[in-house]
Each structure stands twice: as C-alpha cells, then as structure tokens.
Structure 1
Amino acid sequence: MLPAHAEQQELSLDALEQRLAVIDEALAQLAPINLRGGAGSIGYRSDPREISEHTEWVQVDLGGEFPIDEIVLVPCLWRSTESGIQADGFPLSFQIIAGNGNEDEGQVIASYTEVDGLLPRIAPVVIPCSNTTASWIRVNADRLSPRGYDGQYILQLTELFVFSGSENVALKRPVTASTQGPVLAIPWGARYLTDGFVPYLMDESHGWKSNAWMSSVISTDTPAITIDLKAPQTISRIHLHAIELSDTIPQGNINDPGTPKHLKIEASNDADFSDAVTLVDHQASSIFEMGPILMWNLPETRCRFVRLTGLPTDDHDDRGTTKSFIGFAEIEIFSEGQNVAYGIQASVNFDAPKVDRDISTLTDGHNFYGKILPIRQWIQELAQRHELEKERPIVMAELSQRYASQKTHFKRLIWLAALLIVSIGAIILIDRIIRLRQIALIKERLAADLHDELGANIHSIRMLSDLAQDTESPDEWKSTHQRILMLANRTTTAIRYCTNILEAKGLFIGLVSDMQRTAKRIGGNFDHSFSVEGEEWIEQLKPRTSIDLFLFYKEALINICRHSGATQVYTQLTANYKEIILIISDNGKGLSGQTPSSLKRRARLIGAQVDTVNPSTGGTQITLRLNYDKFKFLNPFRWRKIK
C-alpha cells in the first residue's frame, strides 16, 4: 500500500480535482466531531511506565459467542498547548485479539504500528472484522505513547465498542486489564471502558433542530414517562439521550438536569403495569455514571408498555431542593435493530411541562443538533471524517504544487511564444534581407550577363563591319553580312532570355563547343589553341554552371582582344570530382594592375576564385578555380559519381 501522499502523486490533475470535490461533498454529509463538555467518566488508564516498549492490555468479556463485524477504539483526549486537542496515551503499536471460551491465546485479527499513521487524531479508530466469532476481545499494546501532562508512557482508551450487526455486545460488559491504574483516579477505572460514554456529542448536522422535552419542577417523588408501543414488541435495547446542558462556555451545569439519578425502567403488557418486569435499575452514585447517551442492552423482552420512573434520592439539586426535574432529548426503544418508539406520543403522571417543550420531541428522532443516527453509523462517520480531513490537505498540497508547476510551465510557454514571435519576425526580416540580396544578385547577374553577352556580340559585329569595309569581293561581303545578321539575331535572343538565363540553355550546344566557337568568332585575328581534360565531368555540369563558365570565358577573351595586343591565345579546361580549372594564356603585353573588375564580378557569381599573373615568358595568364568538394551541397554536377 502506497503512503497517502504517494497515492495522490499517482493521480492526474483532473483526478485530483475530482477527488477534492468528492472529499468536500462527503465532508458536507458526514457527522462533525463535536466534543462534549462538563464532567464525567473518561475511560481506562493503565499504570505509568518509564519506557515506551512495555506491554499493557485490556480484555472485555462479551458473555457469550458473537459474530463480530467491527471493533472501535475511542481515544482519550488531551488539550495540548502546542497542537490543540489530541489523543492522549493511545498505543503506538497494538494488536486486536479475539478468543472463545477459556482459551488464553486467541487469534490476532488486526495489528497496527506507527507506520499505519493512526496518530495524531481525536476521532475513533474503526477496525473492520470478517468471519470472526468471539466471546472475548483483547487490546494488546506493546508500544505505549506518552501522556500529555508528564510524558510517562501509558495505555489509555475512552471506550471499546464491539459490534455484532447494529448491537454493541461489549456495552457494560466486565473488563479486565494488565493494571488497574491509580486507585484514587475514579474516572479511569476499567469498567468505564464499556460504559457507552464517549467524548463526542451526537451532532449529525442534518435534519431539524429539536429542543429536548423537560418538565418543570414537579411535586411527585416518582415522576414517570410511559410509552405505549401500540402492540407487543420484543425489545432488546434502550437509548436515553440526555438534555443538552447548554452551549455556553463554561457550561452552566456540571450535571444533567433531567436524567434521574435513580432511574427504573420497566416493561409490561398491561397498561397498569400489573405484570411489570424491571429492565433497568440505574443508580448514578457519581457524576461518572452519567453521559450524553445512556445505553443498555436488555434481555429480549416482549412487551407493549415501557415506563421510565425517577425514584427519590437524598441528593439536593443545584437550587438546594429535593424537588425533581425529568426530561430527555430522545427515548429510543429497539426491537430487532429498529427504534419502535419513533413517533409515538409519550404520557406522564404529573402536570404538563413547559409550553415551549413539547412532549412529542421525546420520540421525534432528533436532538438539539439534528437527526439522531444509529450509534454504529455515527461512530463510522466520525472515523471517516478523520480520514478525509487528513487526506484533504494532502490533496490540496498536491494540487497547489501542480498549479504552481502549471503556472511555471505557462510562464515558460509565454516566454517561448514571445521568443517564437520574435523568431518569426527575425525570420521574416532575414528572409526579406535574403530576398533583397537575391534581387540585388539577380540584378548584378543580369547586368553582367547583358554586359558580357552584348559586349561580346557588339565587339564581333564591329570587327565584321571592319572586314566588310575592307573587302572588295561581293561573295566575301555577302558572307560577312550574313554573319553580322546572325550575331544580331543571337543578340536579340540573348536579351530575351537573359532575365532567366537557365532558360537560355537552348542558345548553347555544349560548353566546350560553344567556347571553341566563341574563341574563333571573337579572336579572329590571333592564333588560338584549346585543350580539355575530364570532358565526361564537364558534360554533367548543371546548365547554370555551364553558362557561368561560358560567360566568364567570353569576358576574358574580350579583355584579351581589346587590351592585350596578343597574337596567340591558349585555353586549358580541366574538370574532376573535386574542382574545375579554367586557364587562359596569351602572348600580349601583359596585365598592368589588378584583375579586371568584370572578371572578379563574374567569378563571384560562380562562387569561384580568379587569379591573373604575368608569366616570365610574357603575356597574361588568367586562372579560374571552382572548388566544390568542401561544400557538397554546392555540387555543380547533376549527380555525383560514386568513387
């Protein structure tokens, strides 16, 4: 079995909230623990001990074998300045033993230790039993707790109930104990363990409030209350609920003003009680013989009439007179577990009582606090209330922790949401910047493409025009004119596709072929040689990469034609799975200054590096190097060849 707090931790938040609602609803229905005041019997107390590990026991003789359903231990209560009212001297470790006849050992039917968490408490402890038949019940304590006022270890109990069905078969039965307690401590005798008096008032908090019936001062020495059950009944138990002393603090009376100190209860089948049988002859020799509920188990007696008579005593009341009062909050007469006196009008042998105290309240089923419950149900509700009131703060603490955790998670969620919003804003801003940069790159590429393509074609047209002017042959002039027309058409097509250069791949037959053809067209006045290595890799280049290489090469040739004065040009194109290298050399006058900006721009668009040097043999060497092995995602090929 899991500890209470562990059980709560296993529940979901919804289950905890539902459990709290169930607890609150149950607490609203259960009888509250209302402690009695005044003076009276307390219960049993053993001799004090110096150590906790000491065995003390009490045993009640039931007077016969009974099937046992439930055993109830009612603790003695002590008002502590630190923790308020709590159980005092309740055992820390004990066993409930049931036996039959003269057997000494009996059978352990229940066992409790500190781990079971019975303390602290003020409520009774209800111990369910099943399949148990016994003629005696023993409470055997092997670890004692300290009493409040001096810290010595004792066994102390207010009441021991043993229920067989609805009957408390331990009521007023003889009790033996390992020690009898202090001789002068009258309220602590073993016989008070089964007198039926508990430190609680019957407070059910449901049903209407019914003031007790009480007579005025009466002149007769033998006031009697008679109840006609209307038909013979087999009665076995009687409960008399005392008049409430008052709810003032302190109480105005130390004794019950209505219960006769000498009370005789008789049963009869004749209205004149000519065949009367005495059921109870109760003489209260001290205040310890009185309590909120007087209870007697009776030999089963068949009768129609029950009479309660107050007999004279030599005691004086609080007013110094022997004149008697009589009254009760309720009279219950039980037959087969049912109150057969309920709702029956009682009669008296003296003058009518006070007007505001109607005699019908004697049998209306209610007291000053509400509906009167069966004793067993009442005790069970007090015990159940204790368990729920102990569980409730645990559930509340767990709920508070869950709510705090939820609040923390909610704050984190808010921060995450804020961060997400900021991130989204940043992403949108970055995306906008990237788009603007892409637009700028597109503009730059468009300008470069227009510059390179148009510049090369216009340069070619100018050279062809010069040729046309110098030629005298009509056939050569016509051929030159057709070439000029072809370049003009090509320029128109290039302008149409330059905004989406990838669509312009139809202009190119192949990178190597286009490079060779362009070299002949642009460099018509110088000798040109072209070499290629790794053509199988070149054929796999993406169209965009091929176009960029081609435009770089064209720009380089135009710069050579315009500025170098070269007569020879050598081109070497090398490709493998790591890089592409394009080398263009000439025998011109050499490059003065840095690499031309048009070549740098074109190399940057490709993502390559460009270098220009003037070899010792003369001329200029332009080297373009595109290394893509470091960045696999920049792979310019349609696919990678598996090595």
Structure 2
Amino acid sequence: MGVGVCQYGQLTKIASGLDQFVPTGQVERQSRVLSTSAQFRWFYAPPVSLGNTIHFYWKRVVLCAFALFPGLLSAFSIFPSLTAPIREEMEAVQIELIDLPVFPVNVSPWTLGFSSAQHQEPELPFVIEITFPEPAVVDLVALMPSSFKDQRNEIQSWGFPLRFMIERLLPDGQAEIIADHRESDYPVPGVDPQFFPCPEPVTTTGLRITITEPGKNTTWWRSNSIVAFSELYAFAGARNAALNSEVKATSSNEFSFSWSTKCLTDGFTLFSPLFHNLEDPKNNIDGFGLKKLTLDFDLGQVYRVDEFRLWPVVHAIQHNFPPTTAMGFPRAIRVKAAISADFSGAEVIYENMNLNYRPGAGPFMRRTRPTDAQYVRFELSEGVRDFMRDQSRGVPRIALSEVEVFSAGDIISRGIPLRAEGLRRGDRQRVSSLTDGRSNEGQILPLRQWLTQFKQRVQLEDRLQSLRGELNAAQLQEAQRFRTVVLVAIGLILILLQLVWLVRVASRRRAARMRERIACDLHDEIGANVSSMAHTTELLAESIREPSSAQTRLLGNLQESAQLTYQETKNFIRFIEAENHSSDIAEQFTRVADQILGTIPHIFSLENTRSFNALDPATKWNLLLFYKEALNNIIKHAEATAVTIKTRREDRVQILEVIDNGRGFSQDEQSCRRLEERATMLRGELKIDSQAKRGTQVTLKFKNC
C-alpha cells in the first residue's frame, strides 16, 4: 500500500497541474481554497435529488428557519396591536362599573307609564302638556323610556319619539324651547333616562312636549307608531317638581292604573331608586295582626314638609313563588303634620283612604300640601292581604321596609327615632330599620343621583358590549395577520430551501463535469504515459543482450512500478467515475476488500451506512485511504486467514473496525505511521489492539465535522 500511496501522490501532483484536483495529504488546505469557489464542497457529493438535499441539509434549513423566526416576530411586532387599546378601554369601563350601583328590574312595577291610544296612529303634532303643582326653578328634564321584554327575554325601549321639541312654560304664559329635535331623528335610546338640561334655569310652571314624528311600535299593539314614556322628571335641584303633576295629551291609552296620563308623573318606573346590594332581606317590619299602624316622627326642628315615600316589603327576592310584592302595604294612608309633640292643631297634609293602585316593588311617592312642621304622623291601615296565605284566617297585616319624609327634595327623616304603636316584640326591635336608608332590596339612593348613575351604567354597559364586538373583530384580524405572517415565513423558508437545492444542483453539475474531465485527462495522459513507460522498459530490457544482475533488478522494478502505477491509476479513475453515479460506502468497502484481500475470507458487518454515506467528500476519501492502508498491512504483515470489517455509529461518533486473525505483534511494534496520519486527517482517535499470535483489531473513531 505504501508504493500505491506514493504513486497516488505522484498522479495527484500531475493532476494538480490542471488546477482542479486535490493532492493527497493536503485535503484540508485545498478544501479551503476550493470552498471559496463553491467547487470542492460538492465534488464528491451524493446523487442529485430533492430528497437527498433535504436529508443532507435539514439541520441547516432548521437553523435558517430559527434565524428567520425572530426576524419575522420582530416584523410582526412592528404592526400596532389591534386588541391592546380595546382591552385597555374595556378594563377602564369595568373599573367604572365597579363603582356604580346595580339596578335590577322591579319584580312588579306599580304602573307602566303613559302611551298614546293603543289601536290608532297618533295624531300629529302630538302634544303632551304638564302643569306643575307649584312653580319651580327647573334645571333638568329627564324622560324615562317605556320598556318591554322581547322574544329573547331582553328589555328593550319602545315608543320614544324620533322628532320632537320640549318647551318650558313660564309664569307669564310664554314658552321657551329647551330641546329641539324636529330637524333630525333622535337616536333610539336604550332603557336609560334621556337628559335635557335647561339653559339658564328660570321659574317654570310646566312643560310642553310637541312630537312631530313618533317612534316605531315594536310591540304586539296594532298601531305602526306610538308615543310612550315610562316617567317624566323635572328637577329643581334635588326635588322632582313634576311629581304628581297634571298631564294633558292629544290622546291617551287610559288602561286602569297601568297606563294613563297621571302615570307619567306618579314616580313609578320599571326600576327602583336603590343600589341592589342586599344585606338583610328582613330589613322591615312584618306587622302581622295589625289592622292599623301609627308612626310618629320627631324631625328635630321645623321643616317645610312637601313629600313622603313609603317603601313596600318585597317578598319575591326571598322565597315566595309565584312572585309577591307589597303584601301588607296600607291602602288607607293619612299623613298629619304639627308643630307640637302632642299633635294639637295638627293638619292633614295627605289623605287617601282608598288606594286603588296595585302595589308594586318600588316606593310609593306622593307630594303633600307644603306645611311647616317638626312632627309628622303616619296613620296606616287596610294592609294588602297575602294571597299565598290562607285567606280564611283573615289575619290583618301592615308591612313596610322604609319611610321617608322630604323637604324641597332633601330627606329629613333619615336616621331619626320614631314611635310606633301596636307592634309586636320582633317588629319593635326592627322599627329603627324604617329610617336606616335601606329597603329589603338594598340601599336607597337620592332620586337625581340614581337617574344619573343609572344612565352612566347603561351607557357603560352598552359601550362594554360594543367593545366586546370590536375585540372579537380585532382578534379575528390579528389571527388573520398572524396566519399571513406564518405563511410568509413558510414561503421564505421554502424559497430558501429551493435556492439551496438549485445552488447545489448547479454545483454538482459543475463538479460532475470536472470529475469527468479529470478522469479523461488521467486516462488519456497519465495512463498513456505509464503504458509507454512500461513498453519502453520492455524494449530496453530486450535491447540489452547480457544485462547485469543489477540492471535486471532495476528494469524489473521499473516495469513492476509502471504496471502498478497504471493499475492504481485505473482504480482511482473508477473511484472518480463512481462518484458520478453512486457513493455507497458499503459498495466501495466491498470492492476494495475484494481487490486487496483476494482469496482471504472476509466478512462485513456494516451498520448505519447512511451516516457514512452522508460524510463530506474529503472525509470520505481519507476514510477510504485509511481502510486501504489497514487492509494492505494485513496482506503485508498479518498472514491472516480471516478478516472482519465492521462499521457502526454511537451518538455522533462514526466507528470503523478492521479485525484479522493473523500473527499479531508486540506492544513495542504497535506503531503505524500512515494509519496515524490518516486518523489525524480525520480528526479521529486510532486504537490498535494486538497480541502476538492472537490477531489485530484496528479501531477508528471520528466525528463528521
């Protein structure tokens, strides 16, 4: 093998004159030179195919993908977030909602409000005129829309006019416009109150609402359009100046105590002015067995009393079904006011001994004749019977959860002690709950504050619902944008892979043409020259009639070297040509072993040949030369009768073993310079295990760098 290697070196030097071939022993240096021209890396490459390319370069493609991915994420991050500002606004809205009271729908409202005639179109212009019980400096008008439950069991407004005008009536008979929506449609409201502030508040005796285009009728009523309101408020500071005002209208749906003109200013709506934060459902007096209840208030000083509110007991939120409300609410109410504690000279400021209203869940609000007084007495009787109980027992009852007395819109009875006659022991202990500011549904709020917060909550809830829709749309847009970026990334990676494949195909084609040219040149030039040398040597031997022994020996060596060089050149040409068609390491190892070992039995155990086939060209060439050197050593020195060749892979380490059963050699003789050189070129580890008369095992371990 030593002569063969030397001859290969000579042939390589000849080929290097073509500036295309790599000299033996200088693979790494020459590979660096050729890599700059994209030639040597592809010189001994596997056959061209997309599958092999993907397999050979999958790690590089993955690295390229990971290199591109942060860039793509950065590119994605430059797009402004569509959902972030929406989420921030939603969070701000939710924080505002936390601080606002919750307003549940009344289980059973006292009245429903005002509407135009049910079965006919309203006559236009439709006029509603409200006359206050006494003049007031009104600064805000509020209209509460009528409400109904639709087929989805959701509360919707209906009957609110599209085009209208609101005027305030002055003491001199003149009218001033405070809101004019006759030129364009008023936005369809929700269930929240609609506010109309009064510019420069002045003394007002009443209001006039002129409707030029009514709202659409969305209920089952027969008319196509209708005018409907739940309640009208006219605030003079904290006082509702419109409470119990006289109302006249072009037409009216007078239906008992549910719909009528007076229901527009009776103080009743579908909602109660309280914060529904229930703490004690029994925050009331039950009054079982009472036919009459007298409550005396000491206001502590003289006030001008002009309004009171009685809060019924609401049972439906506790246990009864079907719902029951205002059981025990008095149907006979008399209110007296006096300056002295013994009520001498007391005046009756309100009296209704036959209340025809169907009691509901909200407060019973009534104006009184304005009177200066320090002491107020409520005489209550004729409580509403509880239909859930046995009527034959005939047990009377007077039940209330709160009693409020007002002066100019300000409550003056909150927290003051009161005296009650005829109560049982349990009710006497709870009598203070009638002035604690809570009904058995929650905390009672000032009327104007309640309307303002009610409007804020409805508007914020509507805004939150709108933001949820915007968020869903933004999330869909961001998802689509992300999918687009991912598709672009995949496209770029595929384009990169395609470019790598195209470059490799082009380089392989150039390398194939180079190999073919080198093989032709070696065959035509070196082969012809070596044949000529062998022929000339034969002629020279024939021309010397009586050659000396030295001449005979030299001529024989020359002829033998020429023939051997010719044979090795042919082998090398076959190797180069084989690279154009196949690079299977198993075939190469088998062919080389058959050529060198000849008739010596040899066994192959070749595992993981795929990883050996994937070796780069320079490594594969050095491995083949190492293998040939090991086999030549067996022929020269081992005197073996059997040889075993093994390949395998452990983790990332390639292992080649050549084992013979020859005569072996001692430890002092275990030095093979050429094998060590090849192992160094492969950046591997060489191990020779041999003992005299026990054979030799040569093991090479290396990584494919």
If the TM-score is normalised by the length of the shorter chain, which range does it land in?
0.5 to 0.7
Q: Does 1:214 align with 2:285?
A: yes
Quote the offset at 1:322 in angstroms: 7.5
Matches within 5 A, 1:377-456: 377-427=449-499
The residue that corresponds to 2:270 in the other structure is: 199
Q: Secondary structure, in 3 states, of the residue corresponding to 2:139? A: strand
Change (3 A) 1:420 1:115: farther
Deviations 1:208-247 (A, max 9, x none): 345332243345x542112333444454432221111423
Map 1:335-414 → 2, pairs under 5 A: 335=407, 337-354=409-426, 358-414=430-486
Residue 52 and residue 230 in structure 1: after superposition, are their counterparts in 2 closer, same or farther (change >3 A)?
Answer: closer
Residue 243 of structure 1: aligned partner = 313
Counterpart selection for 1:97 from 159, 167, 187: 167
Aligned length: 437
Contact in 1 for aligned 2:283/2:433 (Cα 8 Å) = yes
How far off its partner does 1:364 sit?
Answer: 1.7
- Provide the rounded CA distance (Å) in 2 between the counterparts of 1:11 and 1:180: 54
Kept in 1, the 8 Å contact 2:178–2:196? The answer is no
Q: For 1:392 and 1:113, locate their aligned partners in 2 and report how far apart those are by CA, in whole Å.
A: 31
Is the 1:62–1:170 contact (alpha carbons within 8 Å) kept by the matching residues of 2? yes
Indicate how the Cα distance of structure 1 residues 230 and 295 shifts in structure 2: closer, same or farther if over 3 A, else same.
same
**Distance in 2 separating the partners of 1:11 and 1:204:** 38
Match of residue 188, structure 1, among 259, 272, 278: 259
SS for the counterpart of 2:336 is: strand
Identity %: 20
Deviation at 1:367, TM superposition (A): 2.0
Check whether the contact 1:53–1:142 (CA below 8 A) recurs between aligned residues: no
Question: How is 1:526-565 mapped onto 2 (pairs within 5 angstroms)?
Answer: none
Structure 2 counterpart of 1:130: 199
1:149 to 209, 220, 224: 220
Give 1:417 deviation, angstroms: 1.9
Q: Which residue pairs with 2:142 in the alignment?
A: 72
What residue in structure 2 maps to residue 19 of structure 1?
A: 89
Separation of aligned partners in 1, 2:245 and 2:473: 51
Q: Does the CA-based 8 Å contact 2:329-2:359 persist in structure 1?
A: no
Flag the 1:117–1:245 CA change in 2: closer, same or farther, 3 A.
Answer: same
Q: Work out the CA distance in 1 between the residues paired with 2:446 and 2:191.
A: 20
Q: Which amino acid in structure 2 is aligned with residue 399 of structure 1?
A: L
Query: Quick check: 1:52–1:143 contact (8 Å CA) kept in 2?
Result: no
Aligned equivalents of 1:113 and 1:212: distance in 2?
51
Query: How much does 1:166 deviate?
Result: 1.1
CA distance in 2, matches of 1:289, 1:353: 27
**Partner secondary structure for residue 196 of structure 1:** coil
Give the deviation of 1:348 after TM superposition.
0.8
Pick which of 65-74 and 167-176 moved more: 65-74
Distance of 1:217 and 1:227 partners within structure 2: 22
| Structure 2 CA distance for partners of 1:353 and 1:130, relative to 1, 3 Å | farther
Which residue is 1:259 aligned to?
A: 329
Equivalent residue letter for 2:434: L
Residue in 2 aligned with 1:309? 379
Contact 1:75 1:122 in 2 (8 A): yes
1:170 deviation in Å? 0.1
Q: Distance in 2 between matches of 1:296 and 1:355?
A: 25
Q: Give the 3-state SS of the residue equivalent to 1:396 in structure 2.
A: helix
Counterpart of 2:400 in structure 1 is: 328
Matches within 5 A, 1:148-167: 148-152=219-223, 153-167=225-239
Partner of 1:470: none
| Structure 2 equivalent of residue 62 of structure 1 | 132
Q: Is the 8 A contact 2:167 2:209 kept in 1?
A: yes
Look up the match of 1:30: 100
C-alpha contact (below 8 Å) 1:212/1:328 kept by paired residues: no
- SS of 1:262's equivalent? strand
Q: Deviations over 1:423-460 (max 9, x none)?
A: 444555666777889999999999xxxxxxxxxxxxxx
The answer (yes or no) to whether the contact 2:284–2:440 under 8 Å persists in 1 is: no
Distance 1:99 1:437 in 2: 101
Hey, what's the Cα distance between the residues in 1 that align with 2:421 and 2:153?
51
SS in structure 1 at match of 2:198: strand
SS in 2 for 1:187: coil
- Aligned to 2:209, which of 136, 139, 147? 139
* Structure 1 counterpart SS, 2:397: coil
**Shift of residue 90, structure 1, vs aligned partner:** 3.0
Give unpaired runs (5+ residues) of structure 1: 1-9, 447-643
Match of 1:606 in 2: none
Q: Distance in 2 between matches of 1:266 and 1:276?
A: 6
TM-score where L is the length of structure 1: 0.59
Deviations 1:310-356 (A, max 9, x none): 1569x987536876422322122334654332223332111335369
Tell me how far apart the structure 2 counterparts of residues 215 and 435 of structure 1 sit (CA, whole Å): 100
* Equivalent in the alignment of 1:173: 245
Q: Give the gaps of 5 or more residues in structure 2.
A: 1-79, 519-705
Residue 21 of structure 1 and its aligned partner are, at CA, apart by 1.9
Q: Is the 8 A contact 1:210 1:366 kept in 2?
A: no
Letter in 1 for 2:404: E
Bigger RCO (CA 8 Å, 6+ sep): 2
CA–CA separation in structure 2 for the residues paired with 1:31 and 1:424 = 61
Deviation at 1:365, TM superposition (A): 1.5
Contact 1:33 1:123 in 2 (8 A): no
Q: Distance in 1 between matches of 2:386 and 2:487?
A: 78
Separation in 1, partners of 2:111, 2:302: 36
CA drift of 1:65 comes to: 4.1
For 1:285 and 1:359, locate their aligned partners in 2 and report how far apart those are by CA, in whole Å. Answer: 24
| C-alpha distance in 2 between matches for 1:398 and 1:146 | 30
Q: Given the alignment, which residue of 345, 364, 379 partners 1:294?
A: 364
* Letter aligned with residue 304 of structure 1: Q
Over the aligned positions, Cα root-mean-square deviation in angstroms equals: 4.0
- Counterpart secondary structure, 2:138: strand
Shift in CA distance, 291/181, structure 1 to aligned 2, threshold 3 Å: same
Amino acid at match of 1:296: R
User: How many angstroms apart in 2 are the aligned matches of 1:412 and 1:290?
Assistant: 59
- The one-character-per-residue Cα deviations of 1:90-130 (angstroms, maximum 9, x if unpaired) are 323322222213536542524278844324x3343333333
